[in-house]
Chain A
């Protein structure tokens, strides 16, 4: 797909916005595997979108947008590391590069996983689903939520991890059933 209209210099900015909205979640999920916190993901995603906007006229094919934006994301993670304290980054740069490089090859799968997740969430018992949503909506600190449901924070983290694993298994099952 040609990104310029009538072969002018100015790229199609409307197309850019549509592509970014379409792939925003996949790019953020890619970033989440490279960054220690969701807040870091938010910070870096803003830079990614700005750089992608500026470089959009260099993209040859809109079909490659997602991968191209994730390569930009990989660079922006390194830029982010330059300005943040190193001890915030548990993973060394070489490991991060491995995760990023392999992650670039599975962007489609990750996008499918994200699409299947909502259906899997609906399959959880209502009480569990509400708990997950409450935790992820950042409504209350984990300590408060744990106290309200009569658990220790550590036990609550364990429960969340178990639910997240169940959701991951459900997502993988869903994709396997849907076939290639």
Chain B
């Protein structure tokens, strides 16, 4: 049963006149009382209806009921409008059509270069700064201080940088313009005392290195190898027992730690450094547009809680909580799971205009909201952004199983990084798929992934 005070609380919410002290009682009322929620929807309907009638009346004759021109100023109940509501909607669609017909732009590197030229006075201690950032990234700096309060432009003095979710990424730019991009659940320690030294404990780093002096090449240490870089573009992935190196431009010297053997890896070649395996550079294979997860075989390269196959149930990956930072710096929790798609061992997986992503999984709550997304990068290794989509017809069966097919062209840049869109790809199409991930806003959704497959629509 609702009281007069409850109704007034809802009205203040609709009017936008809530006091701070109203917020908690409102949350409680709406959480516990279905009648209040229905009342809120009714009030919202009337509120919107009146606005619509007023907007249409003003548009119809250009004057208000008293014969004055309708040039409105905003108040708490209304919003400025010069077109009927549906016309605004149609305009939005028209804009999309025009954009789709005329452009498929990729963002140019120039903005990075402009930013670098604008670097302010150099401090003695800083060795670089952040030029791109998404998701929650932790930095352990001098003196062991740990912070996630990072943003584009933050100057760093060396230390360890670590991604905290499948969608985390950070690009660092050294003072000489060399860049390293750390993606996903990776951990990189970096320093520059006249020689750049990176320690990649685990994960994936893409780097574009400006020419270094022969006496002081950039060094990249992994568990199984050491790389010497004089100036080049490459991508390196470090696992517990192997290091995969892909060189896009220039040359990188790799030394395998288990036996001290070295090998020079030229442009467009790759090598995998693992004990007792052939240490011979191979041509980087042609990229592919088809890929299937291997969750049934092993939990390699996944983020989330892997649950092995049991009687009657496939192996699956359950979402776990991750933190995100909003553009305003506030933290929010999402429940996500992710799988690495392109790795150092196999051909890169590229999204084509007609690519589809088939996802099989389980959902405990039938009407839960589920977002699906990919993290992509340019062929040269630079981070391209996180792109996401959803399926409005996601319908689990009686046992919670679902299967959806998503179109690559529906993937949109994550709004969380929209402010960086000039520096990210405009679209994930023709980009390398670094990872696939999915998320829900609440743990109650109980989202699990059983299988993910990327294919082109004509080939399936």
Confirm or deny: B346 has a beta carbon within 8 angstroms of a beta carbon on chain A. Answer: no
- What does DSSP make chain A's interface, helix, strand, loop or mixed? helix
Contact partner of A29 among B48, B57, B81, B442, CB < 8 A? B48
How many Å from the CB of B357 to the closest CB on chain A?
Answer: 14
By size class, the interface of chain A is 35 or more
The total of interchain contacts (Cβ-Cβ below 8 angstroms) comes to 244
Contact partner of B442 among A68, A94, A168, CB < 8 A? A94
Given A46-B92, A136-B53; A161-B326 close (CB under 8 Å): no
Confirm or deny: A90 has a beta carbon within 8 angstroms of a beta carbon on chain B. Answer: yes
**Cα–Cα distance between A99 and B38 once the two chains are bound (Å):** 8
Known: A42-B85, A137-B78. 17 other contacts (CB 8 A): A21-B90, A24-B85, A25-B85, A29-B44, A29-B45, A41-B48, A41-B79, A46-B88, A49-B93, A82-B416, A114-B45, A135-B78, A137-B58, A139-B68, A141-B74, A142-B76, A142-B77
CB atoms of B11 and A164 under 8 A apart: yes
Confirm or deny: A95 has a beta carbon within 8 angstroms of a beta carbon on chain B. Answer: yes
CB atoms of B96 and A54 under 8 A apart: yes
CB atoms of B31 and A25 under 8 A apart: no
Note all chain A residues with C-beta closer than 8 A to B327: 83
Confirm or deny: B288 has a beta carbon within 8 angstroms of a beta carbon on chain A. Answer: no
CB atoms of B45 and A17 under 8 A apart: no
Note all chain B residues with C-beta closer than 8 A to A114: 45, 48-49, 52
**Most chain B Cβ neighbours within 10 Å, of A53, A78, A121, A136:** A136
A-B contact pairs, 26 of them (CB 8 A): A21-B86, A28-B48, A29-B44, A29-B49, A36-B16, A42-B88, A53-B97, A58-B391, A60-B393, A82-B326, A83-B415, A90-B18, A91-B26, A98-B31, A99-B30, A102-B38, A103-B41, A133-B65, A136-B53, A137-B55, A137-B64, A138-B54, A138-B77, A138-B81, A139-B73, A141-B75
Q: Tell me the A residues contacting B by CB distance below 8 Å.
A: 17, 20-21, 24-25, 28-29, 32-33, 36-39, 41-42, 45-47, 49-51, 53-55, 58-60, 68, 71-72, 74-75, 78-80, 82-87, 90-95, 97-99, 101-103, 106, 110, 113-114, 117-118, 121, 129-130, 132-142, 145, 157, 160-161, 164-165, 167-168, 171-172
**Cα–Cα distance between A48 and B294 once the two chains are bound (Å):** 35
Note all chain B residues with C-beta closer than 8 A to A58: 391-393
Note all chain A residues with C-beta closer than 8 A to B75: 135, 138, 140-142, 145
Confirm or deny: B40 has a beta carbon within 8 angstroms of a beta carbon on chain A. Answer: yes
**Cα–Cα distance between A159 and B88 once the two chains are bound (Å):** 31
How many Å from the CB of A91 to the closest CB on chain B?
Answer: 7
How many Å from the CB of A35 to the closest CB on chain B?
Answer: 9
- What does DSSP make chain B's interface, helix, strand, loop or mixed? helix
CB atoms of B418 and A83 under 8 A apart: yes
CB atoms of A168 and B367 under 8 A apart: no
- Across the A-B interface, the 4 shortest Cβ-Cβ residue pairs: A138-B78, A138-B72, A83-B415, A136-B54
**Cα–Cα distance between A95 and B42 once the two chains are bound (Å):** 16
Note all chain A residues with C-beta closer than 8 A to B42: 113, 168, 172
Given A83-B418, A133-B54, A137-B78; A71-B392 close (CB under 8 Å): yes
Contact partner of B73 among A50, A55, A83, A138, CB < 8 A? A138
CB atoms of B78 and A38 under 8 A apart: yes
How many Å from the CB of A165 to the closest CB on chain B?
Answer: 8
Residue of B nearest to A134 (CB): B64
How many Å from the CB of B416 to the closest CB on chain A?
Answer: 5
How many Å from the CB of A148 to the closest CB on chain B?
Answer: 11
Interface residues of B in 119-151 (CB under 8 A from A): none
Interface residues of B in 361-408 (CB under 8 A from A): 367, 369, 371, 390-393
CB atoms of A20 and B86 under 8 A apart: yes
Residue of B nearest to A139 (CB): B72
CB atoms of B96 and A50 under 8 A apart: yes
Residue of B nearest to A53 (CB): B93
CB atoms of B326 and A86 under 8 A apart: yes
**Cα–Cα distance between A164 and B14 once the two chains are bound (Å):** 11
Given A97-B441, A117-B46, A164-B47; A42-B330 close (CB under 8 Å): no
**Cα–Cα distance between A99 and B17 once the two chains are bound (Å):** 20
Given A42-B79, A53-B96; A78-B441 close (CB under 8 Å): yes
CB atoms of A90 and B96 under 8 A apart: no
Given A25-B48, A164-B47; A121-B53 close (CB under 8 Å): yes
Confirm or deny: B240 has a beta carbon within 8 angstroms of a beta carbon on chain A. Answer: no
Interface residues of B in 1-35 (CB under 8 A from A): 7-8, 11, 13, 15-18, 23, 26-27, 30-31, 34
CB atoms of B80 and A138 under 8 A apart: yes
CB atoms of B90 and A17 under 8 A apart: yes
Note all chain B residues with C-beta closer than 8 A to A130: 65-66
**Cα–Cα distance between A32 and B83 once the two chains are bound (Å):** 19
CB atoms of B50 and A93 under 8 A apart: no
**Cα–Cα distance between A68 and B393 once the two chains are bound (Å):** 7
CB atoms of A75 and B13 under 8 A apart: no
